[in-house]
Amino acid sequence: MPDDTEKDLLKKIQATLEDTKGLLLVLNQDKLDEMKKKLLKAGSIESQVYELCDGRNTAQAIATKIQKSPDYASAVIGNLRRKGLVKTVDSGGFTSRFSE
């Protein structure tokens, strides 16, 4: 178990990494948008699920909104995760786009 000094250092490292990620996202937004267009067909279920991965929706909420089973929604989210487009946030299973 890390002591308080180690925890503080880890928090600083995490903050630096998050800042770096944010900067990289801003600097590469045009490339990210281009890649998303290649990976997500307009109007597809994947595209709809991607838009619902906003950090506020759970897989269950997404399933309800796209009128599919939770297993189906989870499978689509899994595909998006493998493509590197979304991540699952640990607290409560919420999903979020990497571009946010």
Q: What is the pLDDT along the chain (100 residues), one digit of tens a residue?
A: 667 799 999 999 999 998 998 888 889 888 888 888 888 888 899 999 999 998 888 889 999 999 999 999 999 999 998 888 888 776 655 666 654 4
Q: What is the pTM of this model?
A: 0.66
56 in helix, strand or coil? strand
CA distance to 20, 48, 100, per residue, from 32 (Å): 16, 17, 11
Q: Are 50 and 97 in contact (CB under 8 A)?
A: yes
| Residue 39 CB contacts under 8 Å (≥ 6 apart), including other chains | 83, 85
DSSP 47: H
